[in-house]
Amino acid sequence: MCRFVIYKGTSPVQLSHLLTRPCHSIINQAFDSRLRLDRRRPMNGDGFGVGWYDSVYDEELGSQPCIFTSVTPAWNNANLTRLAEKIKSPLVFGHVRATTAGSLSLDNCHPFSYGKLMFMHNGSIGEFHLIKRRLQQDLPDVAFNLVQGNTDSEWAFALFVSMLPNPDAKSFTTEVLKEAMFKTIARLNELAEEANITEPSLLNFCVTDGETVIATRYVSSRTDEAASLWFSSGTSFSEFGEGGHYKMAKADRRESIIMIASEPLTFERADWMEIKTNNMVVITPKMNLLQIPIIDKFYVPPSDPASLARTTEFAREKGLLAHSVVSHVTNPVEEV
């Protein structure tokens, strides 16, 4: 299955420090996903994409993100390596793809975008073909017409756009983006229930407008585990040893850098924490990190013993679960 990484910082990062240089970068995870449990299709070689925002607003360029995608394997794309050494950005989305729905084409490579919005997905919508037509019927023209490919992920993005009060707004509040994501997941669950679908959906979504970042770790099941998702925060992310060994440094309590990833980019034990199943993570424009439970019929509170009994078989079959090899350490997260 796919892998993605998100970077948001108070200062721009050179893309190579996320995409190519770390020994376990998102690009290396495309062919060497060490925490991946599905060995039937061990490669994420069905294309890749990287999207970023300008460090300084330019009226002529606009506020929309720049996105570079390719259907070639990420580890074998010379243009990506060259660009990553010359581009800096304070907000970056990176994605490597293993096809589950949709053909191998540029239109199906993440991230997807509309205006200043950018969106990625790791997972799959259960038996999507049974709800696709119904989902499309409900979409306004602005959302329906943005879809260029044929993946369940891009239709999920269209659904998200349809949940916004004004998709063409010049700016979005954190609350607006958060509520649109809640409604997107709720609507997908409604459609699945109407179609009598029993297969869980794995909905690790992430969206940004260049200021706020919203990410979810979610499965439409009370007994199955969601696809893996981790976060790391600190004041600097840099190479400390030869061979691309990086670590997150914490000089003080300020959060100058926040990263979210399907799989940790480092194996430093203090760098990463696992995001809880059926939770949303919000990075605000002021770099506050919030973890918010997605409370619906599939939510199991941590106080319930059943929360510890979720099984991993479904996510493993999909190649979407990473072993919890990174120890849990104290890290300031505000839960709402």
Cα distance between residue 60 and residue 32, in whole Å? 40
Catalytic residue among 2, 66, 109, 206: 2
Task: For Cα atoms 148, 153, 158, give the angle at the middle one, nearest 5 degrees.
Answer: 60
Name residues whose C-beta falls within 8 Å of residue 196's C-beta, 6 or more positions apart in sequence. Answer: none
Concerning whether 109 is annotated as a catalytic residue, the answer is no
**Is 281 in contact with 215 (CB distance < 8 Å)?**
yes
Rounded Cα distance between 215 and 120, Å, is 9
State the Cα–Cα distance between residues 116 and 185, nearest whole angstrom: 21
What's the CA gap between 116 and 171, in Å, rounded? 8
Residue 145, Cβ density class (10 Å: 0-12 exposed, 13-18 middle, ≥19 buried):
exposed
Q: Is 320 helix (H, G, I), strand (E, B) or coil?
A: coil
Q: What single letter denotes the amino acid at residue 11?
A: S
Residues with a known catalytic role:
2
